[in-house]
Amino acid sequence: MQKEFPDRCFDVGIAEQHAVTFAAGLAINGLKPFCNIYSTFSQRAYDQIVHDVALQNLPVVMCLDRAGLVGNDGATHHGAYDISFLRCIPNLTIAAPRNEFQLRDLLYTAQLDKSNFPIVIRYPRGLSTEKPSDIEFHEIKIGKGERLKKGEDIAIVSIGTPGNTALNLANDLEKEDINISVYDMIFVKPLDDQLIEEILSQHKHIITIEDNAITGGFGSSISEIASNSEHNTKVTRLGIPDNFIEHGSQAQLIKDCGYDYTYLLETVKKICKLFIKC
């Protein structure tokens, strides 16, 4: 990209604090900078994200690569905390695409003139899971999630790529006459309050799934809303536990952390057996 657009790409080196403040300076001067940092290293620029970008409500697009578990790079490189430490900051919009098509559309949406506020887009390390296609861009409505599958009693509410696991599981369980709902929120902030009200009013049990720390993460935000709701809906949270995750393949680490397909299946069936007649 730097060869193709030499006047529009700036390599600031391993200097995350400078990168964010530099992006803020570009934004003040009327540009729409895309600031690309590994999720785990964005925490080094936390002060700059708060004071230089969010406080001034500048249209900087923070692209956080390698969000979630990255595999064999080890404990220093897992992007396990960005949802938790960013969602408390005012003015930020935080999104996580389920697949590359959503990522395209989020990047497209972020560069629109009306998207004149700071946006964080977090996405994982890995290869495409979809078939190659022509690039088509569609605007995504900020703060709106979507229902992927309609079921009964149990809903899996996801953010990011774990939503694919949830949808695959729901399709498989349908063959066993177990019908569960699947929702992809897309945005951690702002949350789709209308959709969450639908989920709470129509389901007895919610399972949240995310590739971020359970502590203070996406599931916590759903629990906060549920606790203030008039609905008696139980919430079970799946994600990265409260300890540092070491080396291993992505698949093995996701299994160890308890939000892989098999663990999600066991969780759904346990809830069915204990609380709901499936």
Q: What is the pLDDT of residues 68-122, one digit of tens each?
A: 999 888 899 999 999 999 999 999 999 999 999 999 999 999 999 999 999 999 9
Confidence label for 128 from pLDDT (cuts 50, 70 and 90)? confident
Sign of torsion over alpha carbons 190, 39, 82, 245: positive
Q: Report, as an integer, the average pLDDT of 223-247.
A: 95
pTM to 2 decimal places: 0.94
16-122 against 146-274: fold identical: yes
- What is the model's pLDDT at position 276? 63
Domain 146-274 belongs to what topology? Answer: Rossmann fold (3.40.50)
- Say yes or no to pLDDT of 124 above 90: yes
- Say yes or no to pLDDT of 131 above 90: no
- What is the model's pLDDT at position 272? 86
3-state SS track over 119-135: EEEECCCCCCCCCCCCC
- What is the model's pLDDT at position 43? 96
- Local structure of residue 109 (DSSP, 8 states): H
Contact in structure between 142 and 193 (CB atoms under 8 Å) = no
Which residue do the tokens 């290293």 mark?
A: 41
Average pLDDT of the chain is 94
- Say yes or no to pLDDT of 44 above 80: yes
Q: Which residue, 120, 28, 48, 36, is CA-closest to 81?
A: 120
- What is the model's pLDDT at position 12? 92
Taking only the tens place, the pLDDT of each residue in 155-207 is 999 999 999 999 999 999 999 999 999 999 999 999 999 999 999 999 999 99
Q: Does domain 16-122 bear CATH number 3.40.50.970?
A: yes
Domain boundaries, the chain: 16-122, 146-274
Strand partners, 187: 95
Confidence label for 2 from pLDDT (cuts 50, 70 and 90)? confident
- Say yes or no to pLDDT of 254 above 90: yes
- What is the model's pLDDT at position 56? 97
- What is the model's pLDDT at position 275? 65
- Residue 90 exposed, middle or buried by CB count within 10 Å (0-12, 13-18, 19+): exposed
- Say yes or no to pLDDT of 130 above 80: no
